Structure 1
């Protein structure tokens, strides 16, 4: 029997049965429009036979849309009631046994995923979207690509190029793993409850070769954080604390890296920050 999707009425009924009231604390806004979840799966290019990880499946709207095309899903859900009910909902909507694994855990702490997913598709809680994405990209190297729905402001920041007004530390850290792009807008009206922010789809693809090891990534991210904590200052001043302690020492490292000491963090690409980290390691 084919997999069927949840409708708005059934979603509200399910929530009532589970005594689930969408909360701002958990960033819960359930998608109640079948066309929207099918569109997300299409934008992600999910194919039959692929293993997808979904963060925050909630009542299962997007989960069923992924399963509908013949992919399998590892769903990570922090709400115990929702995690317990999801397999039952999936079975009632025609999902075959073994196609869905539910991990009842906080996505920020999960360190193992059944099935080694290669695709990430999620309607991410707005309050933790960037930390979750960075954690998953760092922890699960098998993830090759994905599409996530996030608050518009967050999505624009993730996909921002150097020099953009919204370019910042999240932009650089996301770019460490590969390119990101805005992949569409989502109407507020497809959610229950209707949020007071706009949403966008953001797509990413992991670079074929890792940019660097954990130590180099941590060094680079430390420099990124310092640069954007004082983003109005020139790098020779903003990075003094992490590049030797003085503006003169920072200047020497920056010149070795081929970066102008008078530049500001918002002008630098992830490659620039990585070169600074490597120059700093040599100077240490």
Structure 2
């Protein structure tokens, strides 16, 4: 596929607000297919089909491929290109406005090459209905990929790490140079594999409350846990001190020191 020629034929002008960088590297496409492990009976949701380089490869294996594209010109191009593929549905759709609960079946595999400027909102959107999925394989800015896979004690570990790892086993499976895209983005990328857990990694009776505690704890990274949580205005000093004591956690630690299990233990005594 000669991306430059296709874009020229379409008289296509890139929209910077959509972060349109088209993946063309065959080795990277092979890497995605390897880690996706698409089987004939799989339903696959592709986010950001672009010019269809990955769509073409996915359509050869998936039982049902639903590809979303928000750009009207690219949507029409894709509709024409894949009009004879009975297992492919091309939708003109913004993933942030797409109700994933409407997808057929369960254990859906999500494959996405996300616009970097909106990757975090899309990731949070997917986590809301994560039980529909078995696997989420996403191309992200390298810095964001390192944040969501970070472990406790790391400066990159934060609320986004916990949100993702609460629901999935997250790992970076490939580093992707900017030259794999046309035009090249300003940063390098990473392919992240999120294997969805059958159940959240910790047993929480109030997940919303748990995530409020996590968000408050990371709201002031340089402050101690006690000061960050107290500053949220949601809990009294007495209750907070009692919770630290009951959980066996030092109030002088910083948020990045706590594992998900330790946050769950602390939240248990705060909620």
Asked if TM exceeds 0.5, the reply is: yes
* Aligned pair partner of 1:50 in 38, 42, 46: 42
Quote the Cα distance in structure 2 between the aligned partners of 1:72 and 1:37: 19
Tell me the residue number matched to 2:240. 250
Contact 1:240-1:249 within 8 A present in 2 as well: no
Q: What is the deviation of 1:40? A: 0.7
Shift in CA distance, 70/179, structure 1 to aligned 2, threshold 3 Å:
closer
Q: Secondary structure at the match of 2:206?
A: helix
Q: What is the deviation of 1:125? A: 0.9
Q: What is the deviation of 1:155? A: 0.5
Contact 1:244-1:250 within 8 A present in 2 as well: no
Q: Please, which runs of 5 or more residues in structure 1 have no aligned partner?
A: 1-6
2:158 equivalent to 1:165: no
Following superposition of structure 1 onto structure 2, how do residues 160-199 of structure 1 map, counting pairs within 5 Å? Answer: 160-199=150-189
Count of equivalent residues: 269
Contact 1:75-1:102 within 8 A present in 2 as well: yes
Q: What is the deviation of 1:272? A: 2.1
Quote the Cα distance in structure 1 between the aligned partners of 2:75 and 2:260: 37
Tell me the residue number matched to 1:145. 135
Contact 1:119-1:145 within 8 A present in 2 as well: yes
Q: What is the deviation of 1:243? A: 6.7
Following superposition of structure 1 onto structure 2, how do residues 116-127 of structure 1 map, counting pairs within 5 Å? Answer: 116=105, 118-127=108-117
Structure 1 range deviating more: 259-268 or 79-88: 79-88
Quote the Cα distance in structure 2 between the aligned partners of 1:24 and 1:215: 42
Contact 1:52-1:73 within 8 A present in 2 as well: yes
Q: What is the deviation of 1:244? A: 4.3
Shift in CA distance, 217/65, structure 1 to aligned 2, threshold 3 Å:
same
Q: What is the deviation of 1:217? A: 2.3
Tell me the residue number matched to 2:75. 83
Shift in CA distance, 12/277, structure 1 to aligned 2, threshold 3 Å:
same
Quote the Cα distance in structure 2 between the aligned partners of 1:175 and 1:140: 12
Q: What is the deviation of 1:215? A: 7.8
Q: Please, which runs of 5 or more residues in structure 2 have no aligned partner?
A: none
Contact 2:167-2:199 within 8 A present in 1 as well: no
Q: Secondary structure at the match of 2:230?
A: coil
Tell me the residue number matched to 1:103. 91
Deviations 1:176-211 (A, max 9, x none): 102101101112112000111001111111111245
Contact 2:64-2:88 within 8 A present in 1 as well: yes
Q: What is the deviation of 1:21? A: 2.6
Shift in CA distance, 210/168, structure 1 to aligned 2, threshold 3 Å:
closer
Q: Secondary structure at the match of 1:141?
A: helix
Q: Secondary structure at the match of 2:140?
A: strand
* Aligned pair partner of 1:231 in 221, 224, 235: 221
